[in-house]
Amino acid sequence: MKKHNFSAGPAILPAAVIEQAAAAVLDFNGIGFSLLEISHRSPEFIQVMEEAEALVSELLQLPEQYKVLFLSGGASSQFFMTAMNLLEQDGHAAYIDTGTWSSKAIKEARLFGNVDVIASSKDKQYTYIPKDYLIPEGAAYLHLTSNNTIYGTQFHAFPTTSVPMVCDMSSDIFSRPIDVSGFGLIYAGAQKNLGPAGVTLVIVNEELLGKVNRVIPSMLNYKNHIEQQSSYNTPPVFPIYVTMLTLRWIKAMGGLAAMEQHNRTKAALIYNEIDRNPLFRGVAQTEDRSLMNATFVTGDPAHEKPFLALAKEAGCDGIKGHRSVGGFRASIYNAMEQESVLALVQAMQHFERVNG
C-alpha cells in the first residue's frame, strides 16, 4: 500500500529529489566522497550554493538589490533577527497577528523596539485573515505570516503599502508567484516546500540594512552573511543541497505559476469534499482557506479517533491536527501528488458510508 505524507513539517519532498540526495550521500557527483563530508569551501559546494541562489532569484524574479541567504537557526530565529537588524529601540514596527507563529514573532520583536499589533484574528481562534486595518506610515516595517499551518489560513492578497513588509513565508514560499518588490525581507524555514529542516532562506533588500544604531552580534547581522555569501560560519551543507535540488524540480515542473495551479487543484479536491461531506466541517473561513494546510473537524467528537484509524489504514499519514487545536489537518505542499489527496478524499467518503 502506498503511503501518503500529509505531515505539516518536516514534510513531503519530491521523490526525484530524495533519490538524488540519497545518491549524493554515498558519492557526490562522482568525486568519491559523500556530500556529508566535503568542505563548504570546496569548489563543488560553492557551485551548489551559487546555483541555489541563482534559482531563488530566477524563480522569484528578484530585483538586483535583493540578496539571498541560507542561514541556520530556523525561522524562529528570524523572529528576533529581523527586529534586531531593522527596528530602532525608539522606533516602532507594525505586526498582524494571525496565529501561533506571528504571536511568537511579536513577543521577540518587543525585545528590540515598540510593536504595534494593528490587526488580529485571535478573537475568533485565528480562523480568518484580518481585512480592515490601518498601516502606520512611520513604521519601520509591517510584519505578517503569509500562511498559518496550525489554523489553515493564508493571505491570498498582500497589503499595498509604502511601508516595507517583512514576511514569514515558511509554509507557502515557492507555492505561487509573488511580487517580491513589495517586501523588504522574506524568511522561510525549508522544511515545508524547500527541503529538510536545518536551513532557513532569507531574502532581503540590502538597502534596508545598516540603519539601526544598536550593536548587532556578528552572527546575527545580515550584512556579515551577505558579505560572506552565507558562509560566515559553516553553512548546513546537506539541507542547502536538497533545497537546490528542490528548486531545480520546481523550475522543471514549470515554475511558480505551474505550482500554483497544481496546488489550487489539490486544494479544491479536499475542500470540496469537506463542504460536501456531512460528517466533516472546515475550520477556516472559506475566503481565507490555505492552499497548503486544510484544517477540518468532525461534527461528532466520537468520530475523530475512528476516522484517524481509517485514514491510517488508507495510507494517509500525518492528518491529526496540531495539538493546540485538535481536529484534522491535511498539508498539501508542492510535492504532494493529486493521487494522495484523492486517497484522503476517498477515505472521507468511505467514512461517510459507514457512519453517515
pLDDT of residue 323: 81
172 with 303, same domain: the answer is no
The verdict on residue 4 lying in a domain is no
144 with 195, same domain: the answer is yes
pLDDT one-digit tens code per residue, 266-275? 999 999 999 9
pLDDT for residue 59 is more than 90: yes
Nearest to 307 by CA among 325, 290, 292, 326: 326
- Length of the chain counted residue by residue: 356
Nearest to 22 by CA among 11, 31, 30, 34: 34
pLDDT one-digit tens code per residue, 192-251? 999 999 999 999 999 999 999 999 999 999 999 999 999 999 999 999 999 999 999 999
State what percent of residues in the chain have pLDDT above 90: 97
| Residues carrying an active site annotation | 101, 168, 192
Domain enclosing residue 47, as ranges = 15-252
272 with 341, same domain: the answer is yes
**Using CA atoms, how far apart are residues 17 and 13, in angstroms rounded to an integer?**
7
**Using CA atoms, how far apart are residues 142 and 136, in angstroms rounded to an integer?**
9
The verdict on residue 84 lying in a domain is yes
Sorting pLDDT into bands at 50, 70 and 90, what band is 1? Answer: confident
The verdict on residue 6 lying in a domain is no
Give the residue-averaged pLDDT of 310-322.
95
Sorting pLDDT into bands at 50, 70 and 90, what band is 52? Answer: very high
Please say which residue of 197, 228, 252 terminates a domain. 252
Give the residue-averaged pLDDT of 257-269.
98
272 with 232, same domain: the answer is no
Average pLDDT, the chain: 97
pLDDT of residue 322: 87
Contacts of 296 (CB under 8 A, 6+ apart): 274, 280, 281, 282, 283, 327, 328, 329, 330
The verdict on residue 135 lying in a domain is yes
pLDDT of residue 259: 98
pLDDT for residue 15 is more than 90: yes
The verdict on residue 9 lying in a domain is no
196 with 285, same domain: the answer is no
116 with 39, same domain: the answer is yes
pLDDT one-digit tens code per residue, 123-180? 999 999 999 999 999 999 999 999 999 999 999 999 999 999 999 999 999 999 999 9
**Using CA atoms, how far apart are residues 335 and 197, in angstroms rounded to an integer?**
16
**Using CA atoms, how far apart are residues 255 and 248, in angstroms rounded to an integer?**
9
Nearest to 161 by CA among 120, 122, 133, 129: 133
The verdict on residue 147 lying in a domain is yes
268 with 335, same domain: the answer is yes
The verdict on residue 5 lying in a domain is no
- Are 108 and 102 in contact, with CB atoms under 8 Å apart? no
Give the residue-averaged pLDDT of 41-63.
97
Neighbours of 70 (CB within 10 A): 25
Sorting pLDDT into bands at 50, 70 and 90, what band is 324? Answer: confident
pLDDT for residue 7 is more than 90: yes
Cell numbers at residue 211, please?
540603519
- Are 121 and 132 in contact, with CB atoms under 8 Å apart? no
174 with 320, same domain: the answer is no
Domain count, the chain: 2
**Using CA atoms, how far apart are residues 292 and 289, in angstroms rounded to an integer?**
9
175 with 130, same domain: the answer is yes
pLDDT of residue 136: 96
pLDDT one-digit tens code per residue, 87-137? 999 999 999 999 999 999 999 999 999 999 999 999 999 999 999 999 999
306 with 284, same domain: the answer is yes
- Are 168 and 44 in contact, with CB atoms under 8 Å apart? no
Give the residue-averaged pLDDT of 16-26.
98
Contacts of 235 (CB under 8 A, 6+ apart): 40, 49, 70, 71, 72, 199
pLDDT for residue 356 is more than 90: no
